Amino acid sequence: MGSNNLYRVVDYVSGREVTPRGLVFTGRDGPWEVRMNLDLIASRINPDYLRSAPALVSKYLPFLPVKDYSNFVSLKEGGTPLIKSHKIGPELGTDLYFKVESKNPTGSFKDRGTAVEVTVAKELGASAIAVASTGNMAASCCCYAASQKIPCFVFVPEDVPESKLAQVISFGGKIVQVKGSYSDAARLAEEAAERLNFYLAGDYAFRVEGQKTAAYEVCEQLYFNPPDYLISSMGCGTNISAYAKGFNEFHELGFINQKPAIIGVQAEGAAAIVKSFESKSDTVLPLESVDTIASAIAVARPLDGLKALNAVRESGGFALSVSDREILEAQYRLSSEEGLFVEPSAAATVAALIKKSREYDFQGAKIVCVLSGDGLKDPASVLRVALKPAAVHASVDEFVELYESKFFDGRTVAFIENSEVLFESPPELEEIAHVIARHFDASYPEEYLDEIHLRVMQFFKKGKKVTFADFQDILQNTLESVRRRADVRFKVRDFDVRTAKDTPPDARVFVEVDGETVAGRARGVGPVDAVIKALRAALQNRIEFELKSYKVDIRSRGTDAVVYVEMKLNRNGLVSLGRGASPDIIQASIEAFESAYNGFYEHSEAGSLSGGLSQ
């Protein structure tokens, strides 16, 4: 390497210098890497300044492949906290720290690498940036590109939920939905970048250079006494290889005397790198598919898998996988015991430490777990294991009744496989109470148990066994709205819906209101619409209402999955919310309607509804 050359881009395996295809800095058959001229870096840095200046990525500009420092694109990324554990670490007998990368501008570690990538794109005159991503990478690239008024094109598979692209949309990213898989989207992004002279952003050569600064910070925050172990999750493998490179450079430059052993973690449903480590293979084979709640590390083809494998082995570390349940438990412990809400992929590092501690001696070791992203990036994972709170009217008596019944003493989350069958056959009331005590550490009043039992029996009437996911929905449906059976003024006794191709569904309902049975019939554009219109016809001379909102959520898989319905009815400005859960979407909708409609009576009895009700 010439003394005046700041860096070279080389093929990672052969070490030979490579020539990019336009602004595409990755090989077709393997990863590339940037090799910095450490002699030149050593001549440029001021050790006293480095030791005393506040931590930010921009502090490390002499270590980065940036030719003109005035061009560096920064949103004050880096300088993230290193927080000492006050509960989990002592429990495991370790000196444990958390590197909280969620404190970067867009909420994840990606901002470190993006700052360098967008700077390089700017220096090379890129007309736009192309990236294939559905999460943190896309959000980060769009944010930094927007700060420089550079268009950013985000290529995603067509079936990616819009919720995962909220940050992209907010930052003005130009989303391109690709008919195909994530691999198809990545290939199209690369081909478009090559043809149109876009800079191809992603887990490629220059990204490592920004992300390695986190390793520098860890060393500095520990007063240049690096940890014994650093634990990082692995998706593409880029971040863990960046930590290894950062530690190696700091060691070679004389800032630290030893390097930590690096532990790489993957989810069991996306463990390509771990499988290679365990089989002592020198290659990382792609997976046919991935299946994990940790979406940020759900990678079938790790681009930097070989780099990650070498980072683990050369440091004397190891790689392991953790289950989704272990991840969720660690995520909850981080929140409830350490005050750190992180996304599942971040919690995987703590899950791995807890799991490995059962068989490996970490006693007294200094350990850093990298928490790569904020929990708000993926709140759905928490909602999968959480029980929503019960709703009460604005009555202190009602709250006190719940409080004194020990209602709030139970768990707010439960960790068990959603598909596990809890009830193979119709259970007795005592069996339901036992399951609630075992999985939720709760004891509910008899009126609640009666209602839960009734809902469980409805599932068997539909011919469905009750899984944990089903039972959780039943509990939520019962607990979210505090209802006494004596207060129920309206009940749907039966319904019948007939539908056929190209024919409006025809619904009949039979309802009981204040002891009187009435019927209603109507057609609608769909089965649920027909039922709601039939209910309106049956209740035409009673409470007038309009449908304000209707939401459907399906939490489990399969054609027999439970449908969770939330419905809001409006009457003269008063909104009543109802919920229902059933493997039958019509029945779930009817339950939600019943709950919301009875809510009008309850409000009236509480003095909240003016004008009275027709009875």
Helix (H, G, I), strand (E, B) or coil at 309: helix
Contact criterion met (CB below 8 Å) for 598 and 483: yes
**What is the pairing mode between strands 7-11 and 32-36?**
antiparallel
Contact criterion met (CB below 8 Å) for 36 and 249: yes
Q: Which pLDDT score is estimated for 34?
A: 95
Does the pLDDT of residue 22 top 50, yes or no? yes
Q: Which pLDDT score is estimated for 261?
A: 98
Q: Which pLDDT score is estimated for 166?
A: 85
Q: Which pLDDT score is estimated for 541?
A: 67
| Whether 396 and 363 share a structural domain | no
pTM recorded for the entire structure: 0.80
The predicted-structure confidence for 415-448, as pLDDT tens digits, reads as follows 777 778 899 999 999 999 998 888 877 777 787 8
| Whether 236 and 264 share a structural domain | yes
Does the pLDDT of residue 54 top 90, yes or no? no
Q: Establish if 578 belongs to a structural domain.
A: yes
Could you give the CA distance from residue 609 to residue 598 in angstroms, rounded to a whole number? 13
| Whether 336 and 255 share a structural domain | yes
**Spatial CA neighbour of 108 closest among 71, 133, 85:** 133
| Whether 518 and 588 share a structural domain | yes
Instruction: Determine the structural domain holding residue 330 and report its residue range.
Output: 209-374
Q: Which pLDDT score is estimated for 502?
A: 86
Last residue within a domain, chosen from 334, 349, 374: 374
Give the end-to-end CA distance of the chain in Å, rounded to a whole number. 90
Give the CA distances from residue 535 to residues 491, 496, 514, 576, 591, in Å, rounded to whole numbers and listed in that order: 11, 12, 15, 16, 12
Last residue within a domain, chosen from 351, 374, 397: 374
Q: Which pLDDT score is estimated for 282?
A: 92
| Whether 428 and 497 share a structural domain | no
Q: Which pLDDT score is estimated for 573?
A: 80
Q: Which of 126-130, 250-254, 579-583 has the lowest mean pLDDT?
A: 579-583
Q: Which pLDDT score is estimated for 134?
A: 75
Helix (H, G, I), strand (E, B) or coil at 266: strand
For the chain, give the number of residues: 615
Q: Which pLDDT score is estimated for 268?
A: 95
Does the pLDDT of residue 41 top 70, yes or no? yes
Could you give the CA distance from residue 314 to residue 11 in angstroms, rounded to a whole number? 19
Q: Establish if 64 belongs to a structural domain.
A: no
Per the prediction, the chain carries an average pLDDT of 88
DSSP class of residue 90 equals H
The predicted-structure confidence for 180-193, as pLDDT tens digits, reads as follows 877 888 899 999 99
The predicted-structure confidence for 255-304, as pLDDT tens digits, reads as follows 999 999 999 999 999 999 999 999 999 999 999 888 898 988 988 999 99
**What is the pairing mode between strands 366-371 and 82-84?**
unpaired
Structure-model confidence comparison of residues 608 and 67, the more confident one: 67
| Whether 472 and 538 share a structural domain | no
pLDDT band, residue 60 (cuts 50/70/90): very high
Q: Which pLDDT score is estimated for 488?
A: 67
Contact criterion met (CB below 8 Å) for 237 and 224: no
pLDDT band, residue 613 (cuts 50/70/90): very low
Q: Which pLDDT score is estimated for 5?
A: 87
Could you give the CA distance from residue 216 to residue 285 in angstroms, rounded to a whole number? 31
Could you give the CA distance from residue 299 to residue 157 in angstroms, rounded to a whole number? 14
pLDDT band, residue 469 (cuts 50/70/90): confident
| Whether 216 and 355 share a structural domain | yes
Last residue within a domain, chosen from 450, 479, 508: 479
Does the pLDDT of residue 473 top 90, yes or no? no
Q: Establish if 33 belongs to a structural domain.
A: no
The predicted-structure confidence for 131-181, as pLDDT tens digits, reads as follows 998 788 999 999 999 999 999 999 988 777 666 788 899 999 999 998 887
Q: Establish if 117 belongs to a structural domain.
A: no
Q: Establish if 162 belongs to a structural domain.
A: no
Helix (H, G, I), strand (E, B) or coil at 262: strand
DSSP string, 217-248: HHHHHTTT---SEEEEE-SSSHHHHHHHHHHH
Q: Establish if 381 belongs to a structural domain.
A: no
| Whether 475 and 490 share a structural domain | no
| Whether 420 and 559 share a structural domain | no
Q: Establish if 39 belongs to a structural domain.
A: no
Average of per-residue pLDDT across 338-342? 95
Please name the residue that has the structure tokens 């931590």.
55
Q: Establish if 287 belongs to a structural domain.
A: yes
Q: Provide the token pair at 86.
A: 């006050």
| Whether 339 and 444 share a structural domain | no
| Whether 504 and 455 share a structural domain | no
Q: CB atoms < 10 A from the CB of 364, how many?
A: 9
Average of per-residue pLDDT across 223-230? 96
Could you give the CA distance from residue 139 to residue 108 in angstroms, rounded to a whole number? 9
Give the number of domains in the chain: 3
| Whether 542 and 581 share a structural domain | yes
CATH number of the domain enclosing 561: 3.30.160.270
The predicted-structure confidence for 366-401, as pLDDT tens digits, reads as follows 999 999 988 888 777 777 777 666 666 677 887 887
Q: Which pLDDT score is estimated for 614?
A: 38
CATH number of the domain enclosing 284: 3.40.50.1100
